[in-house]
């Protein structure tokens, strides 16, 4: 994909999602894509390798939650995989401190290498398993905790509060949308409340998505 087509697709995708990014985001995402595909040729990081799909299903899907993330000082991405949504969100929000955690060492190695290549300050990759004991796991608490299809929502809401700083929020990036009643029931079971819930579709494939935000009651 040439630079012009990348920029055009990024712009149209962001417009469709109702988000905006600075002029430097496109070139940096192109660099991230180049790093991802270079690494993926040797190390299996992602099954999504077509540039158009990487742009939509990794980059735009990550940027879609900018309304829920903007304003936070620190973000913890659990089950970050190859760095999504944490890395694109960091590129779009340079002042955001981001910690990305995964159990797969090669994916954490990629996160560290990509952050160094893009000269992203305030990015930390951690090779750890989140089991609800952040102090012993060496995982810092954050103002905003996020995960994309990391585990089923009930399991996520049981695990997540242990990693949120006081007054912070839990963000769940979901596939098919759940009803307000379902989300409220899941939250109440774990002494949480629903702050917001928003359904959207990816701009090119039309794949269904939902982002739900929770806080302690």
State the chain's mean pLDDT as an integer: 96
Full-model pTM: 0.96
> What pLDDT is stored for residue 75 in this prediction?
98
Please give the annotated binding residues, written as ranges.
79, 84, 130-131, 148
Neighbouring C-alpha atoms within 13 Å toward the C-beta of 142: 28
- What is the residue-level pLDDT of the chain in tens, covering all 217 positions? 899 999 999 999 999 999 999 999 999 999 999 999 999 999 989 999 999 999 999 999 999 999 999 999 999 999 999 999 999 999 999 999 999 999 999 999 999 999 999 999 999 999 999 999 999 999 999 999 999 977 899 999 999 999 999 999 999 999 988 999 999 999 999 999 999 999 999 999 999 999 999 999 8
Reading the block at residue 38, the tokens are 């270079």
Q: Which of 136, 29, 135, 127 is nearest to 78 (CA)?
A: 127
Please give the annotated binding residues for S-adenosyl-L-methionine, written as ranges.
79, 84, 130-131, 148
What's the Cα-to-Cα distance from 164 to each of 140, 209, 217, rounded to whole Å? 9, 23, 13
Reading the block at residue 19, the tokens are 């988000």
Residue identified by tokens 């307000």 is: 180
Q: Which residues contact 125 (CB under 8 A, 6 or more apart)?
A: 80, 99, 100, 101, 102, 108, 109, 111, 112, 115
What class has domain 3-216? alpha beta
> What pLDDT is stored for residue 150 in this prediction?
79
CB 105 within 8 A of CB 129: no
Partners of residue 210 on adjacent β-strands: 174, 199
């Amino acid at each position: 994909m040439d630079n012009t087509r990348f920029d055009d697709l990024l712009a149209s995708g962001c417009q469709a999602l109702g988000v905006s990014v600075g002029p430097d985001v496109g070139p940096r995402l192109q660099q991230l894509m180049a790093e991802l595909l270079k690494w993926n040729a040797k190390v299996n990081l992602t099954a999504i390798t077509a540039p158009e799909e990487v742009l939509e299903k990794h980059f735009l899907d990550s940027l879609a939650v900018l309304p829920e993330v903007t304003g936070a000082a620190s973000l913890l991405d659990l089950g970050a995989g190859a760095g999504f949504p944490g890395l694109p969100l960091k590129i779009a929000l340079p002042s955001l401190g981001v910690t990305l955690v995964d159990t797969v060492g090669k994916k954490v190695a990629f996160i560290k290498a990509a952050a160094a290549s893009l000269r992203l300050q305030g990015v930390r990759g951690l090779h750890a398993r989140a089991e609800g004991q952040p102090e012993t796991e060496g995982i810092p608490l954050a103002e905003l905790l996020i995960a994309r299809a990391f585990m089923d929502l009930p399991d996520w809401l049981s695990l997540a509060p242990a990693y949120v700083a006081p007054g912070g929020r839990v963000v769940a990036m979901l596939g098919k949308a759940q009803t307000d009643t379902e989300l409220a029931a899941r939250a109440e079971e774990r002494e949480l409340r629903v702050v917001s819930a928003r359904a959207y579709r990816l701009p090119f494939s039309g794949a269904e998505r939902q982002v739900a935000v929770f806080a302690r009651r």
